[in-house]
Structure 1
């Protein structure tokens, strides 16, 4: 088994995946908040 050396692994794919996930969560949260506000304005 090879010796593990910290900091040598290429994590660019994981970073890109996390960045995409965070964009998705942020945009979804904003859309839900806008929808809730619109529902509060127009339904009541």
Structure 2
């Protein structure tokens, strides 16, 4: 996940005023999975 995408997600979630926010990229866990071949976006 690019830094730009992480910032976009973080900015959008911050409107919910979370106490803590961690964005963890687990995309590597889906390599080879049928649904991951084209990506989510």
Shorter-chain-normalised TM-score: which range?
Answer: 0.3 to 0.5
TM-score norm. by structure 1 comes to 0.33
TM-score norm. by structure 2 comes to 0.35
The structure with the largest alpha-carbon Rg is: 1
The structure showing larger relative contact order (alpha-carbon pairs under 8 Å, at least 6 residues apart) is: 2
